[in-house]
């Protein structure tokens, strides 16, 4: 389920175990950036796969432990093949042409790689930020991609 972010809530995603034992994964558009949305989705899926679900698990940004690190690795490696990423990083070429070529070869949107390079501080946040997609809610409560 995707819901609007509410001010003051320090979460992007949450997993809740329902009374019947099923799980609900709830996502927000807290930062509205597509790369963060997809990373968060796969991060939460990583928690499910790794069995990190207790009665209620909420990811706060400042809460780092081994379960969070494993979920981060799962998300990163699901979005971008780890071996291909390692080779890309060894090249040291973070130009937009190089990024787009890599993403075309890996069949991933360039904003995924740009977001990772921002997060890992290989790029400054203003670099190529116009190539990132932002999600917005429409009146129908459906998300849309906005450049």
Strands (E), 9-138: 13-17, 23-28, 56-58, 134-137
Residues sharing a CB contact under 8 Å with residue 67, sequence separation 6 or more, in sequence order: 47, 50, 52
Percent of the chain with pLDDT over 90: 49
Question: How many folded domains does the chain comprise?
Answer: 1
Integer-rounded Cα Rg, in Å, for the chain is 16
Q: What is the pLDDT of residue 31?
A: 66
Q: pLDDT (tens digit, 9 = 90+) per residue, 25-76?
A: 877 766 678 898 899 889 989 988 988 776 544 544 546 688 889 999 999 9
**Structural domain boundaries enclosing 85:** 2-146
pLDDT in tens, 73-89: 999 999 999 999 999 99
pLDDT single digits (tens) 127-140:
999 999 888 766 55
Model pTM greater than 0.95?
no
């Amino acid at each position: 389920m995707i819901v609007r972010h509410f001010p003051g809530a320090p979460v992007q995603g949450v997993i809740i175990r329902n009374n019947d034992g099923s799980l609900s994964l709830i996502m927000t558009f807290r930062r509205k950036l597509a790369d963060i949305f997809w990373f968060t989705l796969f991060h939460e899926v990583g928690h499910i796969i790794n069995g990190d679900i207790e009665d209620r698990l909420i990811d706060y940004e400042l809460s780092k432990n081994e379960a969070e690190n494993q979920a981060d690795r799962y998300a990163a490696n699901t979005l971008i093949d780890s071996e291909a990423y390692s080779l890309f990083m060894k090249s040291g070429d973070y130009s937009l042409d190089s990024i787009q070529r890599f993403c075309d070869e890996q069949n991933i949107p360039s904003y995924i790689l740009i977001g990772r390079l921002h997060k890992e501080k290989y790029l400054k946040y203003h670099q190529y930020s116009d190539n990132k997609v932002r999600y917005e809610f429409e009146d129908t409560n459906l998300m849309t991609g906005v450049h």
